[in-house]
Structure 1
Amino acid sequence: MKKTLEAISFDDMVDALANVQRRKLLISLLEHNPQDEAPVVIADSDSETDAVERLITMQHVHLPKLADYGFIEWNKETHEVMKGPKFDEIRPLLELLDDHEDELPADWL
């Protein structure tokens, strides 16, 4: 899926934002860079099993997808996530969501 060399389409941005864990991670990067805090991944987990499943999904699905789009850079050894070369392309959508968080359903962010 390596999209980092080509322009990112609106559909790609919507795909990146289609999961709440990816939205939370990207929005957290608006203020914090680098971002390597685990609560972004598992803060709303109801159980330890749920937290482990979210962590595994983040490492095997969400982080690779966001890295392929170029929205993040991810160091697998240190578990550090930072803004990628294409982050500024999705920034306006992230800021829109963040600015209107209180008007959105609770499970959106």
Structure 2
Amino acid sequence: MIEHWNLVFRALSAEPRRQLIVSLLDCPENQSVPLPEGAINPDVPENPERLKIDLQHNHLPKLADFGFIEWETKPLVAHRGPRFQEVAVVFEALHSSATDIPDSLVKGCQRLEEERQVSLGN
């Protein structure tokens, strides 16, 4: 059981993977999400070409290995995998308690992202 939680949190440890799960939650269950668009956080835009490479070589295989998504290359899309609900439930729980998340955590994440953007020269 603990190993399942470790897999879920490992899968959600990178922003593009989190954003992809959110995008899949926002679309009908049997529909796919176009990539890289579906993995871009609108508040934290990334270079789409670089993200596309990172998705194909890192993020998508990791999520697929865990069974959370399935993906195709032509066109590059992702859809819910057989174990999607294991990661979806984390976002559903966070969404249902959004008002309980401390401002320091939300603002801390925003500050870290702003610092990252400055270091990247954006």
Report TM bin, short chain: 0.7 to 0.9
The number of residues matched between the two structures is 98
Q: CA deviation at 1:101?
A: 5.4
Preserved contact between residue 27 and residue 98 of structure 1 (Cα < 8 Å)? no
The aligned residue for residue 41 of structure 1 is 39
Q: Which consecutive residues of structure 2, in runs of 5 or more, have no partner in the other structure?
A: 111-122
Q: Which has the larger radius of gyration?
A: 2
Preserved contact between residue 68 and residue 82 of structure 2 (Cα < 8 Å)? yes
Q: Matched residues in 1 for 2:15 and 2:53: separation?
A: 15
Q: Which consecutive residues of structure 1, in runs of 5 or more, have no partner in the other structure?
A: 1-7
Q: CA deviation at 1:18?
A: 0.3
Preserved contact between residue 41 and residue 55 of structure 1 (Cα < 8 Å)? no
SS at match of 1:58: helix
Q: CA deviation at 1:79?
A: 1.0
| Alignment RMSD (CA, Å) | 2.4
1:9-28 to 2 correspondences below 5 Å: 9-28=4-23
Q: CA deviation at 1:97?
A: 3.1
TM-score (norm 2): 0.67
The aligned residue for residue 81 of structure 2 is 84
Pair 1:30-2:25 in alignment:
yes
Which structure has more relative contact order (CA 8 Å, sep 6+)? It is 1
Q: CA deviation at 1:28?
A: 1.0
1:13-39, Cα deviation, whole Å (9 max, x unpaired): 000000011000001111213111532
TM-score (norm 1): 0.73
Q: Matched residues in 2 for 1:89 and 1:40: separation?
A: 19
